[in-house]
Amino acid sequence: MHEGHWAVVGMDSARRRLVLVPEIETDETPVDGWALVVEDRAMHALLRPSALLRRLATGTVWAEGAVWLPEDGSVLWSDIPNDRLLRWHPEQGANVHLEPAEFQNGHTLDLDGSVLACSHGRRRIERLLPDGSAEAIVDRWQGRRFNSPNDIVVASDGAIWFTDPPYGIVSDYEGHKAESEIGDNLVFRFDRATGELDAVTDWVEAPNGLAFSPDESILYVSDTSAAGLGTDAAGNRHIVAFDVVDGRRLANARVFYALDATDGVPDGFRVDALGNVWTSAWDGIHVVTADGRRLGRIPVPERTSNCVFGGRDRDRLFITASTSLYEIDVAVSGAVRPGRR
């Protein structure tokens, strides 16, 4: 395993702290001793028999927010504490794509293929532009700034759904320390056609990852409040499912999948075309059916934060986990928005 060189040592004047920035290294080695954990035979149909977990790049402090870019076959992902955005390409390897990045966290593709980001630092949803700048899309609700948008998804009608926990404002580690102006941790739906911004639920204590079922009839939202919000270690470590009503409201909240304390929290996750949820946990990726039954796990040797389906057939799972980006070939495709191929 590459340990990563700690390359730059200096004082970040804006954040007034000593900065140790690891170099990003392209790695591409299979993970030694890796073995899938199968708990239900149905898991075998979701992974290729010869599949290996490969580490593609290493050198981040807290990797998050990966997005697959189909146009050039690359992956962008965040190194939040180091305030930078990274890019991995199969021929070009891994490099720093944008720095500083105002503490971007989750990313998704918009309907037109452009990249939308959750910015902890700017406390807004923004669109990344080719010149490295970003264009604001929405940054406040009822006149109050968001906490620190965390993860994002675009529905087939173009509405942007995102979570707004306070992880980017509780300290300077993943953003800029500040008070919450909203005073709550909400999930929002922003309708760009009408400009309406609705808080769709306050039911989730610390809303984090989110994704729709393939037909968009269900919205899943993870609750990572057990990971603490700076002081409070009590809380939840589960994914909540909601029925989506008329494409714009949520109803019938219920706990869909709960982790054991030893498994950490479910942060980001994605849904495959069959409706299975591939969720991060501290020990890797858990694969859970639409009725909440876990089929097995993809162990990852680092605390795991998120994943995204990519590749030409959307059957490669890219996984962000602490210092590294991993990849495994799977036998099912990631879900696509209804009405799209």
Reported residue count of the chain is 341
Cβ 105 to Mg ion shortest distance, Å: 6
Smallest separation (angstroms) from Mg ion to the CB of 103: 12
What is the rounded distance in angstroms from the CA atom of residue 257 to the CA atom of residue 290? 10
Please state the closest distance from residue 25 (CB atom) to Mg ion, in A: 24
Chain-centre distance for alpha carbon 43: 23
Q: How many residues bind Mg ion (CB under 5 A)?
A: 5
Nearer to Mg ion, 166 or 268 (CB): 268
Tell me the closest approach of the beta carbon of residue 152 to Mg ion, in angstroms: 10
Residues 192-231 within binding reach of Mg ion (CB under 5 A): 208
Nearer to Mg ion, 107 or 314 (CB): 107
Q: Buried (b) or exposed (e) across 24-46, using 16+ Cβ within 10 A? A: bbbbeeebeebebeeeeeebeeb
Q: Which phi and psi angles does 227 have, rounded to 5°?
A: -80, -5
Least distance between Mg ion and beta carbon 222 (Å): 8
Count CB atoms within 10 A of the CB of residue 52. 13
Structure tokens at 335: 């879900």
Residue among 77 and 242 whose Cβ is closer to Mg ion:
77
**Minimal distance, residue 26 CB to Mg ion, in Å:** 25
221 vs 250, beta carbon nearer Mg ion: 221
Output 207 or 214, the one with its CB closest to Mg ion.
Answer: 207
- What is d(CA 144, CA 164) in angstroms, rounded to the nearest whole number? 12
**Closer by beta carbon to Mg ion, 4 or else 268:** 268
Minimum distance of Mg ion from residue 7's CB (angstroms): 27
Query: Residues 6 or more apart from 91 whose CB is under 8 A from it?
Result: none
Query: Which residue type occupies 146?
Result: F
The answer to whether the beta carbons of residues 324 and 4 sit under 8 Å apart is no
Report yes or no: 327 and 52 within 8 Å, Cβ to Cβ. Answer: no
- Write each residue from 15 to 34 as x if it is in contact with Mg ion (CB under 5 A), else as -, in one continuous string: --------------------
Give CA–CA dist 278/335, Å, rounded.
11
Beta strands in 202-304 (DSSP E): 207-212, 218-223, 238-245, 249-258, 269-271, 277-281, 284-288, 294-299
| Shortest distance (Å) from residue 306 CB to Mg ion | 6
Residue 320 DSSP code: E
The single-letter code of the amino acid at 313 is D
Site for Mg ion in 108-167 (CB under 5 A): 150-151
Beta carbon nearer to Mg ion, 150 or 304: 150
- Find the binding residues for Mg ion in span 259-278 (CB under 5 A): 267-268
Contact between 109 and 67 (Cβ < 8 Å) = yes
Nearer to Mg ion, 58 or 78 (CB): 78
Regarding 82 and contact with Mg ion (CB under 5 A), the answer is no
Residues found near Mg ion in the complex (CB under 5 A): 150-151, 208, 267-268
